[in-house]
A = this chain, B = another copy of it.
Amino acid sequence: MISKKMQDQVKNSSVIRAMFEEGKRLADIYGAENVFDFSLGNPNVEPPEDVKKAILEVVNDSNSTGIHGYMNNSGYEDVRAAIANSINNKFGTAFTPKNIIMTVGAAGGLNVILKTLLNPKDEVITFAPFFGEYRNYVKNYDGELVVVSPNTLDFQPNLEEFKEKITANTKAVIINSPNNPTGVIYSEETIIKLSNILRDKQKELGTDIYIIADEPYRELAYDNAEVPYLSKYYENTIIGYSYSKSLSLPGERIGYLVISDQAADYENIVAAANIANRILGFVNAPALFQRVIAKCLDAKVDLEVYNKNRELLYKGLLSFGYECIKPEGAFYMFVKTPIENDVEFCSLANKKNILIVPGSAFGCPGYVRIAYCVAYKTIEKALPGFKALIEELK
């Protein structure tokens, strides 16, 4: 009796989440300390102390009546102003509150902007490997996700194939950098080339094509690597941001959209996104956490914790003979599987109590994603398992 679309969903229920449940099951049997769960991007680093301080400040403020009430569907104007200023200071942009819509995390933001833009059959291009939920988000609005095949050399987008896949039906391109699952940052050179391709195609086809930059991992860039800010390179840009990773608040569902005023039909996009936020049932981003993040705009989780994990895991895997690109951002490592079948490799890993996600779930078979947002000692204790795995397969 459930809908046909959801029947398929129940059948193919997300691999990642299934792993999450499997991890809990194994932990019950073997003890949590003996299960090495690298399956989910659930940050293990606690939020910065500023977050707790901000919550207490907001809640204890004697003038704080109505702090849990409704506000404009786009969020509190003062919070949006503070965010706009913060972005302007960092990237030399000139945003105002009008460019900002507070959202229920980046997932909420992506749904809002896709609802705003997509007609049925509109195409949205993305680059493999990609976060599998994009397919669902696009399908929610009867759009079609067009996947550009992976460039496994360095995991920068395959721009030749991209050019060929742009059609008159292309409405948007989703870019995710630092990337889930590879940890690669799309270089400035990539962004410039990609923008030029889009501008040429817009002229050729007489259409507007929007870049939707999904940026929950923006603040997680190692070695001071720069993550190009998309609106500076391309006019039709919408940015989705989330505090899930930068402040370790994924369960609180707080983020925002930046809608560039250089974007075609800007006024209507802003009006429609405001309405979409409402009618999709988000209504508004959670009130308390809007106020909290406005007090934490310069705070950031301790990146060094993830960096140490990255170094340990990367060196370890390489020394065992695994092949992978060293991630420049996020907290994922995308590793070539010693056997072709990545799903089978994950099953073998499971038997060593190691939970990882097959690359197939990201449109890139032959690889696995290891989420290293875990305790350092989890990696230490899991490394022998990874070693045994590859040795048994040789």
Chain A: residues with CB nearer than 8 A to chain B? 1-7, 9-10, 13-14, 17, 20-21, 40, 42-43, 46-47, 51-52, 55-56, 59, 65-73, 104-105, 107-112, 115-119, 122, 133, 136-137, 140-141, 208, 210, 248-253, 264-265, 268-269, 271-272, 275-276, 278-284, 286-289
- Nearest CB of B to A145, in Å: 13
A-B interface, 7 closest residue pairs, ranked by CB to CB distance from nearest: A251-B287, A111-B281, A107-B281, A136-B279, A1-B265, A6-B272, A108-B281
- Nearest CB of B to A262, in Å: 13
- Considering the chains assembled together, what is the distance between the CA atoms of A136 and B278 in angstroms? 10
- Nearest CB of B to A37, in Å: 12
In the complex, residue of chain B having the shortest beta-carbon distance to the beta carbon of A253 = B286
Cross-interface CB contact of A59 among B52, B73, B271, cutoff 8 Å:
B52
Cross-interface CB contact of A284 among B10, B111, B251, B278, cutoff 8 Å:
B251
Provide a sorted-by-A list of 15 A–B residue pairs whose CB atoms are within 8 angstroms: A1-B269, A3-B116, A4-B119, A6-B115, A6-B116, A9-B272, A9-B275, A10-B268, A10-B275, A20-B72, A42-B69, A55-B55, A70-B251, A109-B281, A251-B288
Cross-interface CB contact of A287 among B67, B210, B252, B264, cutoff 8 Å:
B252
Q: Provided the pairs A14-B278, A252-B287 are in contact, do residues A40 and B70 lie with their beta carbons within 8 angstroms?
A: yes
A104 partner residues in chain B, CB cutoff 8 A: 104, 253, 281-283
- Considering the chains assembled together, what is the distance between the CA atoms of A284 and B244 in angstroms? 12
